Amino acid sequence: MRIVLLGPPGAGKGTQAKVLAQELGVAHISTGDILRQNVKDATALGQEAKDFMDRGLLVPDGLMSKMLQDRFAQDDIKKGFILDGYPRNIAQAKTLEEIFKPKGIDIDIVVYLDSSDSVIIQRLSGRLVCSKCSANYHVTNMPPSKQGFCDKCGAALYQRTDDKVETIKKRLDVYKNEVADLIKYYSGQNKLHRLSADGPAQEVLKEIVALTK
Ligand code: ADP
Ligand code: AMP
């Protein structure tokens, strides 16, 4: 199964993708996670991307294309994947098709997780992320069993530097500028499925799983 998760920041793409990837036995590819790892490791890509990320802007398509090509050259994508955070504009959607063409693969479904602005701001301003395994938590919606530490690997949790109200609003603007075109693009390919992501995570998961049957 090859799935693209679309949706605003905070809709729950990462939360759903992590569980779904395990259930379906496919790879989870989060471009945000890969970028944050590069920033942490101070790679050339991380150093170029950091300023864009801190300002809530998209990292330039050229940098993203190279990163995606490298990721899709890895073996684990052969079992299928959930793509979370890419594509974010039409140019990226076309890049994806160029990467897939020589491999003879295509996206099966695009799941658009829709969420309201008030829910997004509540979720992102309380999001906590594991510094080691990138698991997501929320101070009130999904608190860890031990405050400040990951249930899965025990590492410390942190708040993302771009989860500040001003940067959240900027990211939402950037998202809204691009999403209508992407929705049109994937609707035209009969791949788009739209779900409300405002409900409990378990309910949203059930609805996504139903689309994979
Ligand atoms: P995205 O990857 O789309 O930016 P995340 O998966 O990181 O979003 O989720 C954003 C925040 O909202 C996290 O703190 C997560 O724990 C919380 N969250 C995700 N899905 C739900 C949900 N259905 N109900 C309540 N909180 C949620
Ligand atoms: P995310 O983890 O998906 O919320 O992404 C965090 C930040 O990483 C974004 O605000 C962008 O700066 C950058 N980013 C992630 N994915 C992409 C992408 N597909 N294209 C451009 N920038 C991206």
Assess if residue 149 is contained within a domain: no
Assess if residue 125 is contained within a domain: no
Distance 11 CA to ligand 1 centre (A): 6
Distance 170 CA to ligand 2 centre (A): 12
Assess if residue 151 is contained within a domain: no
The stretch 7-25 carries a mean pLDDT of 97
| Pocket-forming residues, ligand 1, beta carbon under 6 Å | 7, 9-15, 123-124, 126-127, 136-138, 141-142, 200-201, 204
Assess if residue 162 is contained within a domain: no
Query: Mind listing the pLDDT tens digit for each residue in 107-166?
Result: 999 999 999 999 999 999 999 999 999 999 999 999 999 999 999 999 999 999 999 999
pLDDT at 191: 98
| Straight-line distance from the first to the last Cα atom of the chain, in angstroms, rounded to the nearest whole number | 10
CA 30 to chain centre: 5
**Domains held by the chain: number:** 1
The stretch 30-48 carries a mean pLDDT of 97
Tokens of 48: 């170029």
Is 68:96 a contact under the CB 8 Å cutoff? Answer: yes
Q: Is 71 a catalytic residue?
A: no
Assess if residue 42 is contained within a domain: yes
Assess if residue 58 is contained within a domain: yes
Average pLDDT, the chain: 97
CATH of the domain at 69: 3.40.50.300
Q: Is 2 a catalytic residue?
A: no
pLDDT at 15: 97
Report DSSP state, residue 190.
T
Q: Is 169 a catalytic residue?
A: no
Assess if residue 71 is contained within a domain: yes
CA 110 – CA 71 distance, rounded (Å): 19
CA 28 – CA 83 distance, rounded (Å): 6
The count of other CB atoms within 10 Å of the CB of residue 126 is: 17
Distance 107 CA to ligand 2 centre (A): 20
Is 27:82 a contact under the CB 8 Å cutoff? Answer: yes
Mutation to probe ligand 1, out of 141, 151, 196, 205 (largest number of atoms < 8 A from CB): 141
Which residue's alpha carbon is nearest to atom 15 within ligand 2?
32
* Domain ranges, residue 14: 2-116+169-211
Assess if residue 54 is contained within a domain: yes
CA 7 – CA 208 distance, rounded (Å): 13
